[in-house]
Structure 1
Amino acid sequence: MTGPATVGRNEGALLADIGGSNARFAWLMPQGHLCHVRTLAVAAYPGVVEAVRSYLATLPAELGGAGAAPRCAALAVACAVEGDKVELTNSSWCFSQRALCEALGLQRLRVLNDFEALALSLPRLQGHQLRSHAAELPRPQGTLAVIGPGTGLGVAGVVQTAQGWQALPGEGGHATLAPADAFESELLAHVRRDLSHVSAERLLSGMGLPRLHRAVAAVHGQVAAELGAEALVEAALAGSDVLCVRTLESFCALLGGFAGNVALTLGARGGVYIGGGIVPRLGDFFFRSQFRQRFEAKGRFESYLQAIPTALITDTLAALGGAAVALEPSAAHKPA
């Protein structure tokens, strides 16, 4: 939808961050703060309209109650956004932007890629929303990048311009994953037996962790237990399964190399941020891993990468904040 997507003085707006597994909703108050955040399982609803209506039905009286009908909304979705039809990459949800406006009675709607929204949030993130690899946090200047393993793998950037911060959406998670040593070459060779193209998302995501686990086991001449991503991470953090630990170590190392590639490609000298639902769960394991070492290990450009700060986004509402930024007057000229 086009047109200025601003929030009126006496009205709120609907915000959503919709991934492959979960849809997080919030209400944007006229004063600019978020409230009434709720997370709904995507699989529990046939589509976005039903999920939105379920969320709106829970709004308290001070926000309009169960009969609330927002005039303005911003939806961050885990897929490329082009044209009226929106099809989620890793779920069955799809919708028409025009039909969604009609079904919900919206006058203004902004639909953007979920990592585009997360990128828009980066310049406003504060220290309590981040955990850095160094003593100093990234400074919001120049070009910033964000990558995030969740159900899939999101990648985006944001660049500082004379008109403000401009998001750079993309589908970098589907770029080819590159090995950095002989062990990783064996891992990828094993995965290529089943997949003609091994993208970063195929291993560096919730969907990819079980596949990475099987590949690590195969390279070590073992057979991996059938574990989902959550169980695998829990076993690795508990130290109860050596193969799970090795898998998570490989995950962090590969993610570091991929993040370094993104930094070089975008020239993200202002900083590279890690979002998504997986890495924040890893805690100290992530910061003890080879992520940062592999991020910097780019031969002649090692010093270039050493100067780029990296930080973990610990605030799970950051993408919703970015969706709110997309509704501001300065963003009204951008296509929606």
Structure 2
Amino acid sequence: MPNIDPNFVFPVLIGDIGGTNARFAILVDSYAEPKEFPILLTQDFETLEDAIQSVVLDHTSIQPRSAVIAIAGPVEGDEIPLTNCHWVVKPRQMMERFNLQDITVLNDFEAQALAVVSLDEKHLENIGGETSHPNGKRVVLGPGTGLGVAGLIRSRQTWVPVPGEGGHVDFGPRSERDLQIFPFIEKIDGRVSAEQLLCGRGLQHIYQAICQADAISPSLVTPAEITDAALDKSNAQAIETLELFAIYLGRLAGDLALIFMAQGGVYLSGGIPQRILSALRTGSFRAAFEDKAPHQSILKSIPIYVITHPRAAIAGLAAYARTPSRFDIHTDGRRWR
């Protein structure tokens, strides 16, 4: 069935909820910039409602009438668990507690896809390729707490985000070095997924596998320690970890670009690509992206961008809340009134 009255009642509460961090803003009207609130750690709050009350509503006199929330996980049912967080989103309970007229819940990478066509060029760092086709299909992927993937296509003068769980596709060894270290990558139900390598934990998995393959005792523990040691060139295993991380990210990005024929570009979102931008510029990332025989020429033409906006998903959700008609988002089963 077609959506009825896609517009939102202002003010609109906007939320971007990941496995580790949650970001909130209030959009007062369709002309305003989002009023943003401090980023919070999901582990610090028992429930989503407690976080909203403490971080947002206790610090403003603005009373939201609608809410658009993006979460890290598939949206289904009246109680929606997050994939990498203990929170469970309960829209009907939220409506009653906060006196909201309606709530829409989207996938977090749907929000990232909305951001791709909502951000200024100053928030996009180009890594090779030709100029993006203005109406071309696009792919956004982001390694963070997990690995998110979404597509974006143009249809009948609107943008259509295509959410999915592409971060959980199989990922296998290709090079001689891969064959040395992959036996030490932990398998889940007999397989290695892309998310096991391309997220914060993935940096740890790659580093530990390198150390085991080389019979070296690991000296670094956290993703931040590994990244810092790689960037300041103080640890050989960390340097190789970051190089392989970039190569693996390039391989997956190239696969997704071919699946979507993403002539509008491939977009990397989240904190990790911003943090390792220098490593992505060394050439191995782009080379891995393009190394897709027999279609190297297609991949060479596709531009890649790193999204540098600190709250890209909030910007995407705000664009949707302002003008829902700009996007074709099916909200059946994902909007409560």
> How high is the TM-score relative to the length of structure 2?
0.91
Q: Label 1:97 to 1:134 Cα distance change in 2 as closer, same or farther (>3 A).
A: same
Q: For 1:46, what is the secondary structure of its paired residue?
A: coil
The counterpart of 2:258, out of the listed 230, 255, 264, is 264
Which amino acid letter does the alignment assign opposite residue 324 of structure 2? P
In 2, the alpha carbon distance for the partners of 1:28 and 1:273 equals: 25
In 2, the alpha carbon distance for the partners of 1:18 and 1:108 equals: 18
Which structure 2 residues correspond to residues 122-161 of structure 1 after superposition, within 5 A? 122-134=116-128, 138-161=132-155
Instruction: Say yes or no: does 1:21 pair with 2:20.
Output: yes
Instruction: Say yes or no: does 1:253 pair with 2:252.
Output: no
> Which residue is equivalent to 1:6?
7
Q: Please list the CA deviations of residues 48-94 of structure 1 after superposition, one character each: whole Å capped at 9, or x if unmatched.
A: 1011111223534xxxx2xx431111111111112222111011111
| Unmatched 5+ stretches in structure 2 | none
In 2, the alpha carbon distance for the partners of 1:262 and 1:32 equals: 35
Q: For 1:248, what is the secondary structure of its paired residue?
A: helix
Q: Label 1:195 to 1:203 Cα distance change in 2 as closer, same or farther (>3 A).
A: farther
> Which residue is equivalent to 1:334?
330
In 1, the alpha carbon distance for the partners of 2:94 and 2:134 equals: 35
Q: CA offset at residue 163 of structure 1?
A: 4.3
Residues 137 and 311 of structure 1 are in contact (CA less than 8 Å); yes or no, is this contact kept in structure 2?
no
> Which residue is equivalent to 2:197?
203
The counterpart of 1:309, out of the listed 303, 306, 316, is 303
Residues 87 and 93 of structure 1 are in contact (CA less than 8 Å); yes or no, is this contact kept in structure 2?
yes
Q: For 1:208, what is the secondary structure of its paired residue?
A: helix
> Which residue is equivalent to 1:299?
293
Which structure 2 residues correspond to residues 158-197 of structure 1 after superposition, within 5 A? 158-192=152-186, 196-197=190-191
Q: Label 1:145 to 1:51 Cα distance change in 2 as closer, same or farther (>3 A).
A: same
In 2, the alpha carbon distance for the partners of 1:282 and 1:110 equals: 33
Q: Please list the CA deviations of residues 21-51 of structure 1 after superposition, one character each: whole Å capped at 9, or x if unmatched.
A: 1001112131142122320110000011011
Residues 14 and 25 of structure 1 are in contact (CA less than 8 Å); yes or no, is this contact kept in structure 2?
yes
Q: Label 1:76 to 1:193 Cα distance change in 2 as closer, same or farther (>3 A).
A: closer
Q: CA offset at residue 289 of structure 1?
A: 4.5
Q: Please list the CA deviations of residues 108-167 of structure 1 after superposition, one character each: whole Å capped at 9, or x if unmatched.
A: 211101101100111222211110013865344221000100000000011000040000
> Which residue is equivalent to 1:53?
53
Residues 129 and 300 of structure 2 are in contact (CA less than 8 Å); yes or no, is this contact kept in structure 1?
no
Which amino acid letter does the alignment assign opposite residue 42 of structure 1? T
Residues 126 and 304 of structure 2 are in contact (CA less than 8 Å); yes or no, is this contact kept in structure 1?
yes
> Which residue is equivalent to 1:287?
281
Q: CA offset at residue 324 of structure 1?
A: 2.0
Residues 149 and 279 of structure 1 are in contact (CA less than 8 Å); yes or no, is this contact kept in structure 2?
yes
Tell me the number of residue pairs that the alignment of Structure 1 and Structure 2 aligns. 327
Q: CA offset at residue 316 of structure 1?
A: 1.8
In 1, the alpha carbon distance for the partners of 2:229 and 2:4 equals: 49
Superposed CA RMSD in Å reads 2.0
Which amino acid letter does the alignment assign opposite residue 28 of structure 1? L
Q: Label 1:333 to 1:42 Cα distance change in 2 as closer, same or farther (>3 A).
A: closer
Q: Which runs of 4+ in 1 moved over 4 A?
A: 192-195
> How high is the TM-score relative to the length of structure 1?
0.91
